[in-house]
Amino acid sequence: MSETAKRPEWTPDDAGDEFATRVMPGVVGGHDGLPATKSTQGETAVPRRRQLSTAEYIQGVLAGDRATLARAITLVESNAPHHFTQAQELLKQLLPHTGRAIRVGITGVPGAGKSTLIETLGILLVEMGHHVAVLAVDPTSSVTKGSILGDKTRMEKLATQPAAFIRPSPTGGMLGGVARKTRETILVCEAAGFDVILVETVGTGQSEVAVRSMVDFFLLLLVPGAGDELQGIKKGVVELADAVLINKADGDNKLAADAARMEYNRALHYLTPATEGWRTRAYTGSAATGAGIQALWEVIARFREQTTASGVLQARRREQTRDWLHTLIAEQLHAYFYNQPQVQAQLPGIEEAVMAGDLPVTAAAHSLLQLLQP
């Protein structure tokens, strides 16, 4: 970091202190404030500003070059229309190299220990020889607040592992957009050779559903004694889970955690399992001490083995892909409709008419949709 803060280029040369804006230098190495990893020597191999060709992106990603991987993800995440074609071409060419990872979603109320678990589990997996990519779906986060800041410290050790890659949630925008980007980022990470993908999401209700629809295995993290069991968390979320981990089962919490585990196992007995042929169970563990985390991984590995043998895993992925197609079509139709000049011109009047009770709503919607016909 040789440069210091400088003035933006639009500042007049003779300006005094009336222009307060300063451009801060970028951070070398890790992104979003995370520490640089050992393998960032590669960073210098790719000049920062030069645009990469699609072939260069593909070559770099397939070779597992982290700098290129990070840039490829940025390209895929971009909302800029001029990035769209190249990003989609890149994805298309990477597609044959995807699908080999186990995709694990992790949810739980804020503070349940998701990031701590990812750190502990991630280190364990790296030690076992796995390559671990950590992604996040957090529609509310911005660079300055929320879990990203916390994760800097919580995943400190994992972030320095050459075999791990941590990518914070794409910022800004609605859940749909964030989820789309994360799906595509999963594919890019798989093409880069990561064989375990961990996706953390905050327990906001909707984001769990979005993450469930992009992973193979979904883990719900709970803490003991946080109100009457089953009450703090919606039953609907429990029904999405392939395993429930009662975290923080350490110190004085051990007994409460065991009680919670038994209570959840009783409740789970009556719920329809999230995955056909798999029984969702509750376990206890401690992300802080590491107790039970190896056992948790064994559950995930067993899940993968069983669902692969039965074909349930492949069927789920096929369905997820088809559902994703329909979600994108619905989103794009929606945007297309509201962007039509005629729709924009007529909508206020029609809204007024339905609110005044002059026009039936069904007829109003029908006549607006007629505007799409050539």
Ligand X SMILES: Nc1nc2c(ncn2[C@@H]2O[C@H](COP(=O)(O)OP(=O)(O)OP(=O)(O)O)[C@@H](O)[C@H]2O)c(=O)[nH]1
Instruction: By CB under 6 A, name the binding residues for ligand X.
Output: 108, 110-116, 147, 150, 154, 202, 247-248, 250, 286-288
Tokens of 101: 């990872």
Question: Position 162: which residue type?
Answer: P
Q: Which residue is nearest to Mg ion (CB)?
A: 115
The CA radius of gyration of the chain, in Å to the nearest whole number, is 24
Our CB check for ligand X shows the closer of 94 and 158 to be 158
Our CB check for ligand X shows the closer of 30 and 108 to be 108
Nearest-approach distance from CB 249 to ligand X, in angstroms: 7
Our CB check for Mg ion shows the closer of 111 and 177 to be 111
- Please choose which of Mg ion, ligand X, none residue 162 contacts, taking the beta carbon within 5 to 8 angstroms, the exact cut-off set by kind: none
Nearest-approach distance from CB 260 to Mg ion, in angstroms: 21
Our CB check for ligand X shows the closer of 64 and 224 to be 224
- Please choose which of Mg ion, ligand X, none residue 64 contacts, taking the beta carbon within 5 to 8 angstroms, the exact cut-off set by kind: none
- Please choose which of ligand X, Mg ion, none residue 248 contacts, taking the beta carbon within 5 to 8 angstroms, the exact cut-off set by kind: ligand X
Nearest-approach distance from CB 254 to ligand X, in angstroms: 11
Nearest-approach distance from CB 168 to ligand X, in angstroms: 11
Q: Which residue is nearest to ligand X (CB)?
A: 113
The residue ranges that bind Mg ion (CB under 5 A) are 114-115, 147
Tokens 């039965």, residue? Answer: 310
- Please choose which of ligand X, Mg ion, none residue 116 contacts, taking the beta carbon within 5 to 8 angstroms, the exact cut-off set by kind: ligand X
Our CB check for Mg ion shows the closer of 192 and 199 to be 199
Nearest-approach distance from CB 282 to ligand X, in angstroms: 15
Nearest-approach distance from CB 115 to ligand X, in angstroms: 3
CB burial readout 28-47, b (16+ within 10 A) else e: ebbbeebeebebbebbeebe
Tokens 């750190």, residue? Answer: 119
Our CB check for Mg ion shows the closer of 60 and 168 to be 168
Q: What is the largest CA-CA distance in the chain?
A: 74
Q: What are the backbone dihedrals phi and psi of residue 67, each rounded to the nearest 5 degrees, phi first? A: -65, -45
Nearest-approach distance from CB 59 to ligand X, in angstroms: 35
Mark residue 251 as left, alpha or beta (left: phi above 0; alpha: psi -120 to 50; beta: remaining).
left
Nearest-approach distance from CB 34 to ligand X, in angstroms: 15
Nearest-approach distance from CB 200 to Mg ion, in angstroms: 6
Report how far residue 126's alpha carbon sits from residue 164's, in angstroms, rounded to the nearest whole number: 7
Distances in Å between the Cα of 24 and the Cα atoms of 6, 7, 29, 37, 337 are 7, 9, 16, 22, 41
